[in-house]
Structure 1
């Protein structure tokens, strides 16, 4: 379903979904995660089933959707 300017939020399960299908690299989520572990813990906290959280977060990881903190270097090296 549409969310803001994004065409949908969620994952395409047309290839079989979490039961027996491959990961979906078209996944989108309205939350931002730092890592796979952060994603799974958040999904569990929000009440998602373990297998579904694993599949969703694995799909987000396969799509490269995790935000990595930018490394800030000092202006003057020592």
Structure 2
């Protein structure tokens, strides 16, 4: 299973991520940001605090997280649409 090996917050609700299988690119994560746990991520300063968690996904200091599998599928979809 692929894991996120690095992540960088970009403007808006976008992340640049690199995966253990070599896939990398920018992902719009706004579709993942629903519910009270994810509300703080809409604040740019808080969104910038993203990090790779111990499970290989991405997370923020309040415990909000997005799985590597979900991010990987989203990036594959975005890259396919760009072709």
TM-score for the superposition, normalised by structure 1: 0.29
More strand by share: 2
Larger Rg: 1
TM-score for the superposition, normalised by structure 2: 0.27
